[in-house]
């Protein structure tokens, strides 16, 4: 992936990692379009970043994805990068499963990227070079048991990204996976944004951009703080880290 000169769509761009990536790519010299459900949040980001644009869209439903993809394809025919960042994370008690929470998480985190990729792939295939960047999670490799469906959807995104990369290997569409560690955002709850155990958002974004700039052919963007989770199984540290993570309390 080239670090500048792209037309980029970032879902969930109104806050957290999505906003951080949007602003970093905007400053690097890209046409950035952010998408999300909350128009007020999107407008605040655009106002703070002149030249950035926004579209309202909901990736949780098939109809929402269809509408979003149609608008983006019509307005931005030069689109060559899609960053699947939109996601939700909810705590769950598996002894008392709330189907609505489970279905919303699967629809947003897993079906959303699958549907949106299918809808926008014809546009991407027309470009001289293109990129699909999926956000999985360190929890794709070692689950947080308090958020079982979230962890499962991110494991699904990891697996799906590998298959997508293989199937597109003979095209000019690159597939990159970005698994964040625990980052200071409000994804799980507001207190997460100031949790000293979480990686500061600005540091995470800076490290991600450095990796993309220095290694354009990268397949997985791994910041140092996610590596203990990413390689826990390989390194034989899975039981120890699993216990420490899930005994922490949430």
pLDDT digits (tens, 9 = 90+) for 171-230: 999 999 999 999 999 999 999 999 999 999 999 999 999 999 999 999 999 999 999 999
In this structure, what DSSP letter does residue 174 have?
E
Give the domain CATH number at 221: 3.40.50.720
150 catalytic residue (yes or no)? yes
pLDDT (0 to 100) of residue 248: 83
The number of distinct structural domains making up the chain is: 1
- Structural domain contains residue 2: no
Evaluate if residue 249 carries a pLDDT over 80.
no
- Structural domain contains residue 118: yes
- Structural domain contains residue 36: yes
Task: Dump pLDDT digits (tens) for 12-48.
Answer: 999 999 999 999 999 999 999 999 999 999 999 999 9
pLDDT (0 to 100) of residue 235: 97
> What is the per-residue burial (b if ≥16 Cβ within 10 Å, else e) of 16-44?
bbbbbbbbbbbebebbbbbbbbeeebbee
> What does the CA dihedral 23, 222, 202, 106 come to, rounded to 10 degrees?
70
Range of the domain at 97: 7-246
Q: Where are the alpha helices (DSSP H) in the chain?
A: 16-28, 39-48, 62-75, 99-106, 112-125, 148-167, 201-214, 227-230, 232-235, 238-246
Query: Which comes out higher in pLDDT, residue 249 or 244?
Result: 244
- Structural domain contains residue 47: yes
Question: In the predicted model, what is the mean pLDDT of the chain?
Answer: 97
Task: Dump pLDDT digits (tens) for 39-60.
Answer: 999 999 999 999 999 999 999 9
- Structural domain contains residue 1: no
Structure tokens at 98: 């709330």
Residue 4 neighbours by CB under 8 Å, 6+ apart: 28, 29, 30
- Structural domain contains residue 236: yes
For the entire predicted model, the pTM comes to: 0.97
- Structural domain contains residue 137: yes
Contact 39, 48 (CB under 8 A): no
Helix, strand, or coil (residue 35): strand
Mean pLDDT of the region 121-141: 98
């Amino acid at each position: 992936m080239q670090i500048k000169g792209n037309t980029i769509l970032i879902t969930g761009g109104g806050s957290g990692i999505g906003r951080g990536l949007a602003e970093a790519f905007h400053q690097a010299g890209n046409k950035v379009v952010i998408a999300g459900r909350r128009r007020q949040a999107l407008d605040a980001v655009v106002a703070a970043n002149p030249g950035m644009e926004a579209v309202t869209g909901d990736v949780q439903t098939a109809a929402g994805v269809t509408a979003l993809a149609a608008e983006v394809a019509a307005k931005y025919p030069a689109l060559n990068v899609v960053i699947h960042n939109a996601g939700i994370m909810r705590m769950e008690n598996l002894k008392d499963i709330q189907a609505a929470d489970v279905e919303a998480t699967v629809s947003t985190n897993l079906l959303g990227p699958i549907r949106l990729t299918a809808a926008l792939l014809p546009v991407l295939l027309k470009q001289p070079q293109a990129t699909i960047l999926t956000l999985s999670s360190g929890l794709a490799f070692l689950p947080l048991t308090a958020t079982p469906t979230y962890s499962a959807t991110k494991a699904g995104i990891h697996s799906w990204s590998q298959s997508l990369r293989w199937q597109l290997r003979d095209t000019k569409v690159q597939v990159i996976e970005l698994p964040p560690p625990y980052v200071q955002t409000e994804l799980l709850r507001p207190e997460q944004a100031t949790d000293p155990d979480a990686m500061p958002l600005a540091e995470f974004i800076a490290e991600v951009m450095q990796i993309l700039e220095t290694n354009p052919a990268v397949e997985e963007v791994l910041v140092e703080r996610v590596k203990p989770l990413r390689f826990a199984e390989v390194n034989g540290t899975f039981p120890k880290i699993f216990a420490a993570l899930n005994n922490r309390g949430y």
